Chains A and B, each alone.
Chain A
Amino acid sequence: MKKVFGRTKGLTERAFHYCPGCTHGIIHRILAEALEELDLIENAIGVAPVGCAGFCEVYFSCDMIGAAHGRAIAVGTGAKRARPENTVFTYQGDGDAGAIGLAETISAAARGENITSIFVNNSIYGMTGGQMAPTTLPGQKTSTSPFGRDPEVAGHPIDLPLLLSHVEGSAYIASVSVDTPKNVLAAKKALKKGFQTQMEGKGFSFISILSTCPTNWGMSPAKAIKWLQDNMQTHFTMGELKVKE
């Protein structure tokens, strides 16, 4: 029998710990496929965050470094400056790269730091149990915005890829989603472009991926996808926001 599809070599054999319906699993797979297709598994150094994806270090087949909350891009900077011949990526959530590590994110973009940052935005703090994130939408209920996020009090969500696309030094900024097979393919393409941007030495690449959190949103996986489409895709700027030639 001819094998037409298999598990990518970019992932280890370890079973994911993610909740049912969480899209981290899809994002892990396409990221790992991108590493394999670009022949980066033996070259890449990944930086794991704090949060739900904190254990991604055991899932990716490449060398990984575990970072403190918000510091993955600084850690990635250190690794890349030490070993420019390696492809360095960070995998971070919205709180990590958009709140506690916002200075690191913007500064790396401004430096044109030649690394690739993957930003998984599910508009909530998943690991700690569903608190407000820098990307929580106005009116969205979380455990620390129980009456819905009130921009008058809690401020507005940050459109991080849009912000970064205006920073001189950023080379490839894309905002994608993994809600449909077509969008999954587009997201994978964006990841590959991000890595290629780095391999060509063009500077900072940042791929924002809208993601669901059925557990903390209190929705079924199918309803969560619908909520993402109706609320997040309409709020955040989507598409390739910057492509440096």
Chain B
Amino acid sequence: MTKMLMKGNEAIAEAAIRSGCKLFFGYPITPSTEIPEYMSKKLKEVGGTFLQAESEVAAINMVYGASATGVRVMTASSSPGYSLKQEGLSYLAAVELPAVIVDIMRAGPGLGGLGPTQADYFQITKGGGHGDYHPIVLAPATVQEMVDLTMEAFDLADEYRTPVVIAADGILGQMMEPVEFPKGSSKDLPHKDWAATGAKGREKVNVSNYCLTNEIGERNCLHLQKKHEYIKPRVQRWKSYKTEDAEFIIVAFGTSGRISETAVDLARKEGIKLGLIRPITLWPFPEKAFEGILDQVKGFMSVELSTGQMIEDVRLVVNGKVPVKFFGKQGGMTPAPEEIVTSFKAQFGLE
């Protein structure tokens, strides 16, 4: 397989096309704009359609309309735009429509800045829009993972009939790295017999979930809840790094996970048995990664590009057994590995 040097955003776009994504609807926003730009050039070559929407809200609802007809479709945005898309996310989840949504996160709140951040963790993993739902959330840490996870995202979306979010930050979106494109998957996925394609030779379908009967509303919510519980043990992904003998563990995803790997190496040079759990699925949170190591570990530290969001999920898994500390950078700043080690040692009294 030939390696190509590609920017993260372009790698996601190319991976989507190779996954059979036929339509892209989007609205330009830094630092994710290369995705619509790439799609506007390349989708045509494969008989697909690119459309620049009038707004983020319109774009996600176009995704909803296209997905309702059973085709593979994607949109991409960055944090303030992702906030706007939350309406559509809630509707996609409610009607169980597969779609891939990319969030190349930038600093907030408000207009914020263009620097890298992971502060969308709450709004991506906890539903974010109205009602009880979770999209599957995949967090790459390298450009190669952006390729692999985008390809997987389309399969997961179809397999579980759910929106899937790729959550990365501006560094990953803008960074160039060598990548390989694996062959598209040949997974046996369910036939989309629910799609609106014209009621020829079959009963008509309604792709909707409007109901004014509380009992039906309850049934719908419990159905989604059951699906979430089904997804949870099946979809968890993570990378463990030097956790076998670890006495302390950093939990960090995406860019902060990558920096934390170097921090682990630095700490180990000082004789500290530090390890790393790098969640790749942010929802479902990879609880399994913590199985069997809770008894050997004296403490965890969540390292994030935020004021501390994923730490709440880490605390839920650790359940008070050992201390869970936090180190973060905010507003577009990223930590040096040394800063992580210094903070870690200070917080656990290892100096």
Contact = CB atoms under 8 A, between A and B. Distances in A.
Binding partners A and B:
yes
Interface of A: 12, 41-45, 47-48, 50, 54-55, 57-58, 60-68, 71, 74-83, 86, 103-104, 107
A81 B206 contact: no
Contact of B61 (A67, A80, A83): A67
A133 B27 CA distance: 29
B200 A58 contact: no
Contacts of A63: 196-199, 204-207
A68 B208 contact: no
Task: Give the interface centre of A48, A57, A60, A77 by most chain B CB atoms within 10 Å.
Answer: A77
B42 to A, nearest CB: 16
Contact of B65 (A42, A44, A61, A82): A82
Contacts of B51: 77, 81
14 contacts: A45-B69, A47-B65, A62-B198, A63-B205, A63-B206, A65-B207, A71-B61, A75-B61, A78-B67, A78-B73, A82-B49, A82-B73, A83-B198, A103-B54
Contacts of B64: 65, 67-68, 71, 74-75, 78
Interface in B70-127: 70-71, 73, 87-88, 91, 95
A79 B208 contact: no
A189 B198 CA distance: 23
A64 B208 contact: yes
A104 B68 contact: no
Nearest to B65: A78
A77 B64 CA distance: 10
A29 B198 CA distance: 20
Nearest to A61: B204
Contacts of A66: 95, 206-210
B343 interface: no
A96 B23 CA distance: 25
A107 B54 contact: yes
A42 B88 contact: no
A82 B22 contact: yes
B61 A64 contact: no
Contacts of A50: 210
Contacts of B206: 57-58, 63-66
Contact of B57 (A43, A61, A74, A86): A74
Contacts of A62: 198-199, 204
Interface size class of B (residues with CB under 8 A): 35 or more
Interface of B: 22-23, 25, 49, 51, 53-55, 57-59, 61-71, 73, 87-88, 91, 95, 196-201, 204-210
Task: Give the interface centre of A50, A78, A107 by most chain B CB atoms within 10 Å.
Answer: A78
Nearest to B54: A107
Nearest to B91: A68
Contacts of B197: 45, 63, 83, 86
A61 B210 contact: no
A223 B283 CA distance: 57
A61 B55 CA distance: 32
Contacts of B208: 48, 57, 64-66
Contacts of B201: 42
Contact of A74 (B65, B69, B73, B198): B65
A94 B69 CA distance: 26
A78 B205 CA distance: 17
Given A54-B210, A64-B207, A82-B23, A77 B196 contact: no
B196 A45 contact: yes
Nearest to B97: A65
A83 B69 contact: yes
Nearest to B195: A63
A24 to B, nearest CB: 16
Nearest to B207: A65
Nearest to A48: B208
Contacts of B210: 48, 50, 54-55, 57, 66
Nearest to B90: A68
Task: Give the interface centre of B25, B61, B66 by most chain A CB atoms within 10 Å.
Answer: B61
Contacts of A58: 206
A64 B67 CA distance: 13
B202 to A, nearest CB: 9
Nearest to B72: A82
4 tightest A-B CB contacts, nearest first: A66-B208, A78-B65, A75-B65, A74-B61
B57 A71 contact: yes
Given A45-B196, A65-B207, A82 B71 contact: yes
